[in-house]
Amino acid sequence: MPEDPAVTGPATLRIGTRGSALATTPTGHAADALVAAGGPAYELEIIRTEGDVATGSLAALGGTGVFAAALRHALVDGRVDLAVHSLKDLPTAPHPGLAIGAVPVREDPRDALCARDGLRLEDLPEGATVGTGSPRRVAQLLAARPDVTVVDIRGNVPTRLARVAGLDSSGPGDLDAVVLASSGLRRLGLEGHISQHLDPSVMLPAPGQGALALEVRAEVLHADAELAAQALGAYGDVPEHVRTPQRPGQAELDAALVAALSRVNHVESRWAVSAERALLARLEAGCAAPVGTLATVEDGLLVLQVAVASPDGTRLMRRTEASDELSVDAARELGRRVGDGLLADGAAELAGLR
């Protein structure tokens, strides 16, 4: 259906997000950043995902895709124009016809210990109970402190914090500590509960942790060669099942959106997460794998740190490599190269990836 020629302004930007506070808060920040960058007015569309309603552990639910699939379906169906994902929840395989339009400035990627009495990891008593639902955190936690007892937990951030003795009088208080993402705690205004930011030398985060992915229909990026080049697969033809919305003002919306995406895209954050995700893809690992990685730009180099552990933390393989070329393509190549080296050294067998 042709657009109404009487409409001169862009349509309203429909942004898809999960309904939890941990999702809507950063989505709102990203949306406001787009407006500040000249983007159009927006409205949030709450999309319910399988990961939000299921009660099992993330690993048991099938991994990161349980949070992303419903948002991607909304994009494909033309119900939203932009989906905001926590990048660590987004599968590494690109979805046909969709592309990551921007990665804003990354939040603190480190994990955080929230413990009773402000204890640090090294101060926890022998046999202390520490809650986490992440196999990656379990393995690295046990590698650092094999004498603690890890308890599998699930629930939103306040629910997890309430498991720690003394942090919430209304909670069970049955644990000595929990491990959570620093970025999530900060976004919710709960960083005051952090007793220790865990150094990457002790616990490397999940690939993409602390970063957001602003995903759009790939065709939207065709107007910006640089963004399209950064978004793997964005130059490909849009499959027929990806519906281009036919609303009055849609063309103007798409033009304003791609211009705003270019302004909020943070290239150093994008280099970092591109290396991390390329590594994860090469290892064919997901959130159920005991793999941690972090890329940073240091003195003109992109430095990639990786830890691959046995699920019980008794064996740990670490690698640090760097690239002196700073580009998304070079970042991906760095991730693939490190992944190849790890596989050659037996990482798949160590971590149970095969």
For residue 315, indicate whether it is catalytic. Answer: no
**Backbone dihedral angles phi then psi of residue 138, each to the nearest 5 degrees:** -60, -50
User: Per DSSP, which regions of the chain are E strands?
Assistant: 13-17, 42-46, 82-86, 98-102, 111-115, 129-131, 149-151, 177-181, 196-197, 212-217, 291-298, 301-309, 316-323
The residue from 136, 270, 277, 282 that is catalytic is 136
For residue 114, indicate whether it is catalytic. Answer: no
- Burial label for 58, CB within 10 Å (0-12, 13-18, 19+), is buried
For residue 287, indicate whether it is catalytic. Answer: yes
The two counts, helices (H) then strands (E), for the chain are 12, 13
The residue type of 133 is: G
| Gyration radius (Cα) of the chain, Å | 21
Q: Tell me which residue of 27, 33, 68, 66 sits closest to 45, measured CA to CA.
A: 27
- Burial label for 173, CB within 10 Å (0-12, 13-18, 19+), is middle
The residue from 137, 187, 270, 282 that is catalytic is 137
Give the length of the chain: 354
CA dist., res. 37 & res. 214, Å (int): 14
Q: Tell me which residue of 211, 252, 218, 219 sits closest to 9, measured CA to CA.
A: 252
The residue from 81, 277, 287, 332 that is catalytic is 287
* Number of C-beta neighbours around residue 225 at 10 A: 11
The residue from 18, 88, 187, 270 that is catalytic is 88
The residue from 18, 72, 160, 187 that is catalytic is 160
Tokens 């602390």 map to which residue? 210
For residue 163, indicate whether it is catalytic. Answer: no
The 3-state DSSP class for residue 16 equals: strand
For residue 154, indicate whether it is catalytic. Answer: yes
Torsion of CA 23, 26, 29, 31, to 10 degrees: -50
For residue 336, indicate whether it is catalytic. Answer: no
The residue from 72, 81, 89, 110 that is catalytic is 89
Catalytic residues: 88-89, 136-137, 154, 160, 287
